[in-house]
Structure 1
Amino acid sequence: MNIHIKTIYKKELLEIKQDKPLIASLLALPLILGVIFPTIFLSLGYDKSFLLSTEKISPMIKHFSSIIPNDINGHTEILYIILMYIFLPLFLIIPISISNVISSSSFVGEKENKTIEGLLNTPITNKELVFGKILSSVIPSILITWISMFIYGILIDVFGFNIFNKIIFPNFEWIFMALILAPMITILSIQLVICISSRVKTSKSAQSVAIVFIFPIVAFVISQASGLLIFGIWMEILLSFIILIINIIIFYSITTKIDREKLILNL
């Protein structure tokens, strides 16, 4: 790793470690999605009355019939769909939210703390600066996401074994999302924060970028529940490819057009 990029990365991680309230806020959403939600639905899975009531939404099963394993049948199909497909896009909110908080506190925070002038006057190139900022945000975000997914999977496989009579987590969709799609969309989110950093003066303003991504994710969840669009592997591959191209374009646009003098004057 380039020495300048490594220096920025270490500096950002040190600041994150020292900000205890920030760390606490970052863990709230992973706790909800990775622990609380699966615990609630798994507990309902042991309730026969709940499983019988799912017959009212049995049309949902038809939309997922081609991807539900043959040995998942009966009343457990709906619960399987909820745990393995409805929750899938929701986990993308974790790295997006965390990276927005970190990157906005990092880049725009430099402006708030009046430290960006000294940083921009160093021999660090624009590419090194942007890449270092991206790394310092994307790595903690993805690591926290993976940990929450790991706990989510453990809960499903341990407490859901008696419901499904098999280990169901992870499937290929979850693995691809964790390794490819989540990092891609997280990098895109961070770069958008950097893009608007020259136009805002507070980190709270920069955090509004997360809203741009949360609405489409909620739309995916609704579309899956209604059967209009299945967030399956081919959809993930398509989105990852599109986002990769956008990331490359934005990265080169940022690094070639970033105006250091303007950033300093906007302090």
Structure 2
Amino acid sequence: MNKNRVVTIMNKELLEIKKDKATLTSLFIIPIIFSIILPLLIIIGGTRNALIQNVSGINQFLGNLSVKFLPNNIPHSQIGTYALFIYFFIPLFLLIPIIVSTVIASTSFVGEKENKTLEGLLYTPVTDSELILGKIMAAAIPSVFITWGSILIYGIILDTVGLTIFGRVIFPNVVWITVGFVLVPVITFLSILLVIMVSQRVSSSKSAQSVSMILILPLIGLIISQASGLLIFNVLVTLLLAFILVIIDFVIFKIVVKKFNREKITLNL
């Protein structure tokens, strides 16, 4: 595999993403809600706030969460708030790279089909694996960095405004670090692979987004199980899940490359 070709394709894709102002703007809506609006609502109103109580899953999460995951030096009155910030928000932030990468990747092959720019790329000496990896990296880089930026903003808000609530800095802990630097990249890679797999067989980016979201539902279900309190992303669970996803990523990448048919794609343009 020629790394220079992969980088060239990646840079080309990133340039196209940068030009699409409407898509770029929409990518920040969910991160802003999860990293700024929702945590501020909890900090200002507490877990007994009527608005917070109406957020689906919070009551069930607090009821199922085991006390072994909670530190002893947190004020008893703030245990619920601490649990929400440290554990309940993890699956929300794992949804960010899935949503962002799905939007970006769905415009990759399908977007080039719609703009009639894919045919010229298919006739270049770039190999299938180089082409697909370049497009994956172009979608993964902004997705991962947007997620990291969201986690950073979330941490700043939590440790500055929340300092008066807990009396100490509580973020980040080792679980959040592991989730951010290990789990986020592999989940992003898998999401993009599924989108590219679908994109080869549909004619519009909206169709690609719809079908790929259906394929990603099992992954979303696993993430939501954390929000119910039935599965907690501690370090061991996070590393184990990341290891499994790395294997799945490798297998699906090989399948996508093998099933990639330039002639069929060209005829369908």
- Per the alignment, residue 265 of structure 1 pairs with 267
SS in 1 for 2:170: coil
In 1, the alpha carbon distance for the partners of 2:61 and 2:93 equals 25
**TM (normalized to structure 2)?**
0.89
CA contact (8 A) 1:103 1:193 kept: yes
CA contact (8 A) 2:31 2:147 kept: yes
SS in 2 for 1:122: coil
Task: Work out whether 1:92 is the aligned partner of 2:94.
Answer: yes
> 1:239 offset after TM fit, Å?
1.4
- Per the alignment, residue 37 of structure 1 pairs with 38
Q: How does 1:51-62 map to 2 (within 5 A)?
A: 60=62
> 1:215 offset after TM fit, Å?
6.3
List gaps (5 residues or longer) in structure 2: 54-58
Question: Kindly tell me: are residues 211 and 254 of structure 1, through their superposed partners in 2, closer, same or farther at Cα, counting changes over 3 Å?
Answer: closer
Give the number of aligned pairs: 261
- Per the alignment, residue 170 of structure 1 pairs with 172
Say which is worse superposed, 188-197 or 202-211, in terms of deviation. Answer: 202-211
CA contact (8 A) 1:198 1:262 kept: no
> 1:228 offset after TM fit, Å?
2.5
Whichever residue aligns with residue 101 of structure 2, its letter is S
CA contact (8 A) 1:61 1:78 kept: no
List gaps (5 residues or longer) in structure 1: none
In 1, the alpha carbon distance for the partners of 2:221 and 2:122 equals 38
- Per the alignment, residue 210 of structure 1 pairs with 213
Task: Work out whether 1:195 is the aligned partner of 2:201.
Answer: no
- Per the alignment, residue 102 of structure 1 pairs with 104
Q: 1:164-215 deviations in whole A, cap 9, x for unaligned?
A: 0110111111111111111101100100111111210101111122344356
> 1:149 offset after TM fit, Å?
0.6
CA contact (8 A) 2:93 2:147 kept: yes
Query: Paired residue for 2:152, among 128, 150, 153?
Result: 150
CA contact (8 A) 2:60 2:228 kept: no
> 1:220 offset after TM fit, Å?
4.1
Question: Kindly tell me: are residues 182 and 224 of structure 1, through their superposed partners in 2, closer, same or farther at Cα, counting changes over 3 Å?
Answer: closer
- Per the alignment, residue 66 of structure 1 pairs with 68
In 2, the alpha carbon distance for the partners of 1:132 and 1:220 equals 27
- Per the alignment, residue 6 of structure 1 pairs with 7
SS in 1 for 2:132: helix
Question: Kindly tell me: are residues 58 and 165 of structure 1, through their superposed partners in 2, closer, same or farther at Cα, counting changes over 3 Å?
Answer: farther
CA contact (8 A) 2:97 2:144 kept: yes
Whichever residue aligns with residue 5 of structure 2, its letter is H
In 2, the alpha carbon distance for the partners of 1:227 and 1:10 equals 41
SS in 1 for 2:171: coil
> 1:227 offset after TM fit, Å?
3.8
In 2, the alpha carbon distance for the partners of 1:151 and 1:197 equals 33
In 1, the alpha carbon distance for the partners of 2:185 and 2:11 equals 20
> 1:256 offset after TM fit, Å?
2.4
In 2, the alpha carbon distance for the partners of 1:206 and 1:38 equals 32
In 1, the alpha carbon distance for the partners of 2:68 and 2:206 equals 44
Aligned-residue identity in percent:
47
In 1, the alpha carbon distance for the partners of 2:266 and 2:24 equals 28
> 1:85 offset after TM fit, Å?
0.4
> 1:59 offset after TM fit, Å?
9.3
> 1:216 offset after TM fit, Å?
4.6
SS in 1 for 2:182: helix
Query: Paired residue for 2:256, among 237, 254, 257?
Result: 254
